[in-house]
Amino acid sequence: SSGINAEYGELSLTSSEMKVMLLQITLLSWFTNVLCAQSDVAPDPAPTSLRDEVAALKEQLREESLNLREEMNSLFGDNLSNLLLLQVIDLIKEVKDMQGLSQVQGQKIEDMESKLAEKIEGMESKLVEGFKELETTQAEINKKRESKLIETIEEMESRLVDNIEVAESKLSNDMRQVGSKVAKVDNKIEVRRSELRLISQQKLTWQNSTYGGKLFSEYAVDGVYTGSGDIWGLNPIQHMGGNQRNFMLIIDLGGFFKIHMVKVWNRADCCQSQSLGVMVYADEELLGSLNEAKLLYDFKANDHVYARKIYLKQGIPNWLNLREVQVFGTGPYGEGEEIDT
């Protein structure tokens, strides 16, 4: 191209401008040939106006192509073919240079890929080895931990078994001791229950009325029954507030007892006949009555007489005043308990 510029110095076109013009000529020629080839094909049944526009466009492109060729011929004349040849040669050189550069770059890329593959293989190998070593180390650590854990569990189980055995032995001894104590207590209770004793002293009492507001029903079970005639001081007695029929003195034994005997102590100062007509009951069982004036009455119960309360009821219009009432028996027992004694 530099030689052509020297020969045609009057031209001001650069190499790039000439390349563009050649490309335009080539494109116009190609597009014109395509349109001409298409014009030989059977026309589509399109509207007449559209076919006319396509024909006009074809004609315009032919004219521009011819004009561009004529302009190039006027500029270069006979040397147009030489100019094109030089341009093609330059293009070939550039393509070769590009191919050489591409081969060099491709070789470099292949070398880099090969080195990179080698490094990756080395890293993978080291990584696999590291993982294997880590797995081996972790397996050993886990095995040691598992062994230690098993030993600890076995030791704890052994201690637990020993502690359980000690606790069972101690509990067994404690249970034996408790059982022995319970047996002793039961024996004492049984002896106490089977022992004939005074079961009425200091128990709860009740009466219909109180003479003088001072001779209360509690004095019948206070345990004081001396021969003194001081009924207001040293030897107080129980005394009703009048002489009426159905006056009553009740002694609550506080449990279910077997009754053996009831002793009734009459007042010692005077008036022993004021309590005549009194009937003695163990719950609903009649034990006897006061039918003569004397200081002491003994009422022995029949076998299998059980009661919770002792009742002294006045059966006639008379007084009820006594020094002491004593109930002897055994127990207490349960409601359904069978007693052979």
d(CA 59, CA 53) in angstroms, rounded, equals 10
d(CA 280, CA 172) in angstroms, rounded, equals 53
pLDDT digits (tens, 9 = 90+) for 263-297: 999 999 898 999 999 999 999 999 999 999 999 99
- Spatial neighbors of 292 by CB under 8 A, at least 6 apart, are 276
d(CA 47, CA 133) in angstroms, rounded, equals 84
- The verdict on whether omega for the bond into residue 332 sits within 30 degrees of 0, i.e. cis, is yes
pLDDT digits (tens, 9 = 90+) for 234-250: 889 999 887 888 889 99
pLDDT digits (tens, 9 = 90+) for 66-76: 787 777 666 65
Please provide the average confidence, as pLDDT, over all residues in the chain: 82
- Per-residue pLDDT band at 60 (split at 50, 70, 90): confident
pLDDT digits (tens, 9 = 90+) for 92-134: 777 778 878 888 888 888 889 889 988 898 898 888 988 888 8
pTM above 0.85, yes or no: no
d(CA 170, CA 166) in angstroms, rounded, equals 6
